[in-house]
Amino acid sequence: MRRRIFHAPHATGKINVTPMIDVVMVLIIFYLLVGKLAGDRRPPMALPTSAASVERSPTDPIIVNVRTPASDAPARDLRVEVEQRELGPEALGVLLRTAEPGRAVLVRAPRDASWSSVAPVLHACRDAGRSVRLATEPAP
């Protein structure tokens, strides 16, 4: 007589992870594309050129972007951006005085910017006791 061997069915079955991997890959691609499209939409700033060599700061500088107002706008309409926050010249001075000591300031302004739009930023840096560097592009 033959004996029949009965195996108890396993409590868990095999899980097919291929659809889950497909969904995760689609989500990763979606977030990469959305992140790229939702980035900074401002046009790049045309910096002045310089033939001087490039110096690197040992510490991470405070980057100040000067957005020039219209030519007929008063100087109080100056727009200054620090870490993608728009500030006025007075708020810039407060931020520079309260920032970490020893950090230099890197000022970025368009090459067609007038002195009256850059001067308040430089005066705020001087009043806060910060060293200032002007961002330029290398000369061709």
Does 6 score more than 90 pLDDT? no
Task: Look up the CATH number of domain 49-138.
Answer: 3.30.420.270
For the segment 46-55, what is each residue's pLDDT rounded down to a tens digit? Answer: 777 777 766 6
The ranges assigned to domains in the chain are: 49-138
Strands (E), the chain: 49-50, 62-67, 79-82, 85-87, 105-108, 132-134, 137-138
pTM of the model: 0.59
Q: What are phi and psi of 66, to 5 degrees?
A: -100, 115
User: Of 84, 81, 80, whose CA–CA distance to 38 is shortest?
Assistant: 84
For the segment 116-125, what is each residue's pLDDT rounded down to a tens digit? Answer: 888 888 888 8
What stretch of H or E contains 25? helix 18-37
**pLDDT given for residue 90 in this prediction:** 79
For the segment 22-39, what is each residue's pLDDT rounded down to a tens digit? Answer: 999 999 999 998 888 876
Lowest mean pLDDT among 91-95, 122-126, 133-137: 133-137
Taking the chain, what is the end-to-end CA distance rounded to the nearest angstrom?
96
Q: What are phi and psi of 104, to 5 degrees?
A: -80, 165
d(CA 50, CA 22): 50
CB atoms within 10 A of CB 124: 24
Does 41 score more than 70 pLDDT? no
